[in-house]
Amino acid sequence: MGRQGPADLAFAAAKDYMRQVFRRVKAAGLKLNVWYHVGRDVPSNLAREYPEYADVDSGFVFDFEERSLSEFLENYPEVDAVTVTSLHETDSILSRPGSTSRRERLLRLYQAVYAACKKHGREFILRDFIVRQSDYDDFTGVLGQLPRDIILMTKEVLGDWWFVRQEKNPFIPLYAGRRLVVEFDLYGEYQGRGDYPYSDPEYFYKSIRDLIPFKIEGAMGRIVHDEERVTQGNGYRAFCPFSLAERDSPRLKAMLSKKISLAG
């Protein structure tokens, strides 16, 4: 083993810290899901070392993504699942020049992520984010070509960070027969962008009960992160799986009735 430089030592320290955090999460009985933003904040020297990374037609970029994610999962065995937002967070792949179609790019990217997760025994969660008709056409067009054990995630309503008194997401029944989790925003503009998650146990309890006929695997709760007091989007998510026996149980109702606080 060669001599380690400052960058190696910094990486080792960061990795050790993150693994300590991850182990605390696991010790609390929670599953650990990481959000993967493809091609975001890549190192400035990446294009110099791998010029073929910019060529989407060569296929190198998809192999690179699979190998990079596989290395991450090797370094962090505590991670249970990897989530990719379908089109919204894959612009680094979709916007590149090349003759490869938009759908083929999405398909090859999802297959690369799935291969890395499958290799290491982790779940792959594919989150839809449909804004335009073309988004819907491409996402549903690719979906039929993907393995059935991929977990889909969609929002409770179509709005983002705005949920009370909105119509339910019409895409939920379209995913019938596939593994599905539903994302709830526990914070939104309707509540005045406060610094605490929205707490209305009856609303969430009824909403989850309404999803039972769709045989979803669980619910994902999203709260605003604490880096900024007023933020426009990013958040933490917590996954709550529930079996058929638990869906209508007093235990679930008691769990949902607990008020959530960011303090402590």
Q: What is the pLDDT of residue 114?
A: 97
Q: Is residue 22 part of a domain?
A: no
Least confident stretch, 40-49, 63-72, 107-116, 221-230 = 221-230
Q: Whole-angstrom Cα distance, residue 152 to residue 125?
A: 6
56 domain residue, yes or no: yes
Percent of the chain beyond pLDDT 70?
A: 75
Question: If pLDDT is split at 50, 70 and 90, which confidence band does 143 have?
Answer: very high
Give the pLDDT score at 224. Answer: 60
CA 249/CA 68 separation, integer angstroms: 42
Q: What is the pTM of this model?
A: 0.78
| Six-digit token string for 262 | 């960011």
Number of folded domains that form the chain? 1
Q: Which residue has the higher pLDDT, 177 or 193?
A: 177
| Helix 250-257 with 201-211: angle, nearest 10 deg | 140
What is residue 188's predicted lDDT score, i.e. its pLDDT?
A: 56
Q: How far apart are CA 56 and CA 189, in angstroms?
A: 38
User: Residue 179's pLDDT is what?
Assistant: 94
Positive or negative CA dihedral for 126, 59, 45, 10? positive
pLDDT band at 251 (very low <50, low <70, confident <90, very high): very low
For residue 106, the model assigns a pLDDT of: 93
Residue 12 within a domain: no
Does residue 219 lie in a domain region?
A: yes
pLDDT tens for each residue of 6-36: 767 888 888 899 999 899 988 888 888 888 8
Within-domain flag for 8: no
> 3-class DSSP state for residue 241?
strand
In a domain, 107, yes or no: yes
- 4 occurs within a structural domain: no
Let me know if residue 40 belongs to a domain: yes
- Per-residue pLDDT of 115-141, as tens digits, reads 999 999 999 999 998 888 888 899 999
Sheet with 81-85, strands from edge to edge, namely: 33-35, 81-85, 123-127, 151-155, 180-185, 218-224, 235-241
Mean pLDDT of 241-259: 43
Query: Are the beta carbons of 115 and 66 closer than 8 angstroms?
Result: yes
Cβ-proximal residues to 112 (8 Å cutoff; 6+ apart), any chain: 62, 63, 65, 66, 69
Structural domain including 191 reads 28-257
Per-residue pLDDT tens over the stretch 188-247: 545 545 556 666 778 888 888 888 888 888 888 776 654 444 444 444 444 444 443 344
